[in-house]
Amino acid sequence: MMFAMPEDMNAYQKAQLDTMVKFADATAGAFEQWFDLNIKSAKAANAELTKQMRALASAKDVQELSSLQTSFSQANSEKMMGFVRAMYGWMSETQGELSKLWEGEMAEVNKTLAATIDKAAKSAPSGSEFAFAAVKQAMTAANQAYDAMSKAGKQVAEMTEATVTATTNAATAKKKAA
């Protein structure tokens, strides 16, 4: 006896396609933000470099040249830290959005797939219960593996954020001390 579930499979495939489209849109949006950040940063850096080169070229003596170099070095360091913070913020935001999307979609996919398997098991020939139990067990194992990876990813993100914060605080303290 065969069992047919074209409606369930079509719905599942449609949900998978919708998920892929959501991820593609989210990824495209994230890359657009990254590109925009880099373009704006490059334009600002070019304008600042031009300004600094003109100031250095018009220095009257070695002392003024040295003073300008020192002040530009500090300003450039601060701007670089600002860029790193902005880039880290972009990465954190993107990772958070993709994680939320992934978790929400995976929960829905798991629910739909489990319902489909249950429905198929009810209409399956007797003796096939073992196969359906194996599929459910594989799903459970996959979900547990995903949860473990998700927790590890969150821990890495938290450690990275702590490192960036500590580095920023150290750079700020060093600047204030100087």
Domains of the chain, by residue range, sit at: 9-177
In the prediction, which pLDDT does 158 show?
78
Name the token pair of 104.
């929400």
The pLDDT of residue 1 is: 42
Q: How far is CA 100 from CA 23, 39, 87, 117, 170, in A?
A: 11, 28, 20, 25, 32
How far apart are alpha carbons 28 and 133 in whole angstroms? 39
Q: For the chain, which ranges sit under pLDDT 70?
A: 1-6, 8-9, 171-172, 175-178
**pTM reported for the whole predicted model:** 0.60
The pLDDT value given to residue 132: 77
Count the neighbouring beta carbons within 10 Å of the beta carbon of residue 172.
Answer: 12
**pLDDT value at position 123?**
77
Res 31: pLDDT: 92
